[in-house]
Amino acid sequence: DNNTYGKWGCGLILSSGKDNVAYNNIAYGNFAGLCIQYRATNNRLYNNISYDNDTYGIFVGSDTNLSARIENNTIYNNGLYGVMVGQGSKNAVIRNNISYQNKSDNIYLAPDDQTGTEVSHNLTAEDPKFFSQETKNFRLQVGSPAIDNGTIIIEIMTDYDGVERSKGKNYDIGAFEFS
């Protein structure tokens, strides 16, 4: 809740650096929850939760942004896009995220403003079966389509709660590993 309603601002921003990482954060009530922008190379967001933001859950953009990685995040009920990649971003990776019930698109790639983005193993259409959307408990219930449907990412060994990843045959999609 870091901004004045309708004004551009991020709950958390990675910018002006190389190999920066933000993980295990919660962002809500902002214009954009989590952002990677401006002179950022190989910056990464993982195991984060971004919900109920005015416009974007996660925003990746600017013509000086290279190789952003958005992995194993849970993005829910944002005002426009769950994940937005645009404004000149190059070679972003959007993988193993739950992006659900965002008002316009769950994952949006600007057609003319970004290049080389890889999008894989995300859950965007099916109900992820959160424990409780009402209380913002985004842990997974038995039978969630997110369980064991991610891809293994060697650098991410634990989930938001510190639970070891790959309790089953594959990583779970989203910030939480089912246990």
- The predicted-structure confidence for 90-100, as pLDDT tens digits, reads as follows 999 999 999 99
Q: Is the pLDDT of residue 6 over 70?
A: no
Whether the CA torsion 177, 125, 70, 11 is positive or negative: it is: negative
Q: Is the pLDDT of residue 79 over 70?
A: yes
pLDDT at 4: 67
Is this prediction's pTM over 0.85? yes
